[in-house]
Amino acid sequence: MTLSPTGPTADCRECEAPDSARIPTVEDRLWTAASWPLIAASLTLVALIAFESFAVTTVLPVVARELGGEQWYSFAFAGTLTAGLVATALAGGWADRAGTNRPLLTGASLFAAGLGMCVLAGDMAWFIGGRLLQGFGGGLVSVVIYALIGRHIAEGLRPRFFGLLSAAWLLPAMLGPVVAGAVTELWSWRVLFAAVLVGTAAASALLWLATARHGRAGTPGAAGGRRRTLAWAIAASLAASVLHVGGQQQGLWRLTVPVAAVVVVVAASRLLPRGTLRAAAGTPRLIALRGLVGVSATGCEVYLTLYLQEARGLSPTLAGWSVAVSALTWAAGSWWQGRRVGSRADDAAFIAAGVGLVLAGPAVVLAVVATNAPVGLAVIGWAIAGLGLGTCYPRISSATLQLAGAGAHGRLGAALQLGEGLSSALGLALLGSVLAVASTLTGGLVAVFAVLTLLAATAAVVAVRTLRSTPSAAPDTGA
């Protein structure tokens, strides 16, 4: 199957949706009178979520110091990923089975509640509780957006849409870290969470209004094994939490770390499509690749910010500027890949090129941390990685949805999110444990970035395999 630049054809079953839910497309036009409300609302919500994500990355060292929870730095960031595991497992089948309205409303409400808890947090436990709610609500909303794209956007136009979603991170990624640093220094980090609360409430309402009449209908028989999937997701979430807690403790608690890691891996084998853990051809390989790239990029961003502020003495604002540079290159990569919509071979080529560039991020930062080289080199390395992320992320997403069978868009969209969430939760927990047992911050960060470099190199190998052997064209139901 090839990506058609002129929209769905009669043989494109994965592009079909219930008649009552179909938003018409006009050949090669993405923006139409019927589709623009969905597109505008999705981009607005993603942009606001992006701002919150970059803001948290910048201010989290300050939050941890102020609330007396430096040892919970990794978990405060990864808490959203941990809770998101359950949400994404629940949301995929829910959206396919019952439509997108209810998961969208539930997710937006919980995300807003989590932001409110962070605004009012008096200690680190309360703050982490808010982050957990944000993760659960954000996980629901993210999968809903994937389901809406799969239902309402023609196959040949999806790379452009995913390119727009990536570009929607540009302004928040550029301004988010800088604004977050400045607001924290001038007023308080709580102001940031309050502002995001207001903005996301408005954006969620806009998306609801744009899709409410299209989101009632689901696909009969689209979901199966809901309780078993949810049970494994809960097990993975709890195990990831134990990983974070156990890694920060002494004595017998440390024995829980390998056990919890095994539980996460076993849960992943049950939650993700068969063959994902060995990167089998087709959607399993794409989902595995998304997970490897995700944990490499997330870990590099989280610990680069910590390194710049705690080891090199940069202010939150300067550290924010350093990280924000990658936003421009991310947008450039997204724009570059969006200019060509062609065959599956094109997808594989963009994916391989992008992942190769992502490897530069942790590899260059590792060299800087180990040798105390100029900080500017780390910024350049992270900027190159941003170019790679903007290039490969939209293509991984569109290639996966291209292989989705009828009624499977939500499940495969959830699988992408779950794969990345599981990888990032497990990776950040283990990296947090490495940092906790290190005798010095610099020594711990050298170990952290060495592991991240290895993970990115593994992703590059998988990407080359994707280039050499394109996925099967048979529709996938996410089983």
Q: Using H for helix, E for strand and C for coil, what is the string for 59-107?
A: HHHHHHHHCCCHHHHHHHHHHHHHHHHHHHHHHHHHHHHHCCHHHHHHH
What's the maximum distance between 2 C-alpha atoms anywhere in the chain?
63
pTM for the structure as a whole: 0.65
Digitized pLDDT (tens) for each residue of the chain, 479 residues in all: 333 332 332 333 333 333 334 443 444 566 666 666 677 777 877 777 777 777 777 787 788 888 877 767 767 776 777 777 777 777 666 766 666 677 777 888 888 888 888 888 888 888 888 888 888 888 787 777 777 776 666 666 666 777 677 677 677 777 777 777 788 888 888 888 888 888 878 777 777 776 665 545 444 444 445 667 777 777 877 787 777 666 665 656 667 777 887 888 888 888 788 888 887 777 788 888 898 998 898 888 888 888 888 888 887 777 777 777 887 888 788 778 776 665 666 777 888 888 999 998 899 999 999 998 998 899 899 999 989 988 888 788 777 767 655 555 556 766 787 788 788 878 877 887 787 777 788 888 999 999 999 999 999 888 887 776 654 444 444 44
The tokens describing 116, both together, are 């409110």
Closest CA to 310 of 125, 438, 173: 438
Using the CB atoms, write b or e for 431-451: b if 16+ within 10 Å: bbbbbbeeeeeeebbbbbbbb
The residue type found at 207 is L
In 403-479, alpha helices (H) = 409-437, 441-468
CATH number of 33-468: 1.20.1250.20
Q: Is 23 helix (H, G, I), strand (E, B) or coil?
A: coil
Direct distance between the N- and C-terminal alpha carbons of the chain, in angstroms, rounded to an integer: 20
- The four Cα atoms 272, 275, 277, 281 give a dihedral, to 10 degrees, of -110
Q: ∠ at Cα 365 (361, 366), nearest 5°?
A: 115
